[in-house]
Amino acid sequence: MSVTAEAVKILRERTGAGMMECKKALVETSGDLDAAAEMMRKSGLTKADKKAGRIAAEGVVVIERSADGKSAVLVEVNCETDFVARENDFQAFAANAGKLALATRTTDVAALLEAKLPDGSTLDDARRALIAKIGENISVRRIGLLEAPAVLGTYLHGSRIGALVALKSGEEAVAKDVAMHVAAINPAHLSIADVPAEVVAKEKSIQLEMIKADPKNAGKAEDMLVKIIDGKLRKWVGEITLLGQLFVKDDKQTVEQYLKQSKAEIVSFLRFEVGAGIEKKQEDFAAEVMKQAFGG
């Protein structure tokens, strides 16, 4: 049967799909717009399921903060390419995920995906519909929630790195400065007290082996070697802990010194970076083109 251009236009507006796909669906449903939209929705969900195993290491980090300013969420939403990460529909989906995470106060991804959007659909419904529309795998990877006893600082670097800092005392400007430091320097722990004992023991063992292997230390007394190890461990702790690191805005003092100077006390921090820890597949595009050209 013949399909009118107006019908194709209406179906495209309803589904966001391509012109040819809309025309095909209308032909198969004898011009029934509702049936065509439903058929395309089911087809899209099938496509979404097939894309679920594909690596999604690009995307955005979003921050949503409560009205009282004392709690906030970090949400990482992933896609396959940075092109899609900049696309309006993807960014709108990520923003909705952030708002829903704050509203539900959940850090469980599965629970968030089942949470309802204002239109009554679940976040997972919206995710799968977006996959069907743009043709890339999309996932909500992780959620972080931070609540501050007094002051909460947030910092978003572009859309790829987000940090939250909770203070027990101090000003919001100080909390934001420290959040910026966390985003830039990426400390592994807050203080030495938060570094697992086994991690410290392993580092001490590594430093001892390096010191013993250095010819300059041959013949030195045991107590001297202990002092050398202690010095190296203090430097190492300063590099991996937030309080021990040199403050990014003033490298003449540590973050701990900056906080004391500002009469502020930190209790916790949180940092997300898009794709951190995800092993990205290295594509050989030339080989892929040859494979397609010769049917390999």
For residues 33-39, average pLDDT: 77
Per-residue pLDDT of 60-103, as tens digits, reads: 999 999 999 999 999 999 999 999 999 999 999 999 999 999 99
Give Cα separations from 108 to 76, 138, 281 (angstroms).
12, 17, 27
User: Mean of the per-residue pLDDT values for the chain?
Assistant: 86
Q: Where are the domains of the chain?
A: 5-51, 56-144
For residues 52-63, average pLDDT: 84
For residues 110-120, average pLDDT: 95
The CATH number given to 56-144 is: 3.30.479.20
Domain at 5-51: CATH architecture: Orthogonal Bundle (1.10)
Residues contacting residue 62 through CB under 8 Å, at least 6 positions apart: 74, 75, 77, 94, 95, 97, 98, 159, 162
Per-residue pLDDT of 178-200, as tens digits, reads: 999 999 999 999 999 999 999 88
Per-residue pLDDT of 151-164, as tens digits, reads: 999 999 999 999 99
Band of pLDDT at residue 289, cut at 50, 70 and 90: very low
- pLDDT the model gives residue 98: 98
Band of pLDDT at residue 50, cut at 50, 70 and 90: low
Judge residue 118's burial from the number of C-beta atoms within 10 Å of its C-beta, 0-12 exposed, 13-18 middle, 19 or more buried.
exposed
- pLDDT the model gives residue 260: 97
Percent of the chain with pLDDT strictly greater than 70: 86
More confident residue, 165 or 129: 165
- Return the HEC string of the chain: CCCCHHHHHHHHHHHCCCHHHHHHHHHHCCCCHHHHHHHHHHHHHHHHHHHCCCCCCEEEEEEEECCCCCEEEEEEEEECCHHHHCCHHHHHHHHHHHHHHHHHCCCCHHHHHHCECCCCCEHHHHHHHHHHHHCCCCEEEEEEEEECCCEEEEEEECCCEEEEEEEEECCHHHHHHHHHHHHHHCCCECCHHHCCHHHHHHHHHHHHHHHHHCHHHCCCCHHHHHHHHHHHHHHHHHHHECCCCEECCEEEEEHHHHHHHCCCEEEEEEEEECCCCCCCCCCCHHHHHHHHHCCC
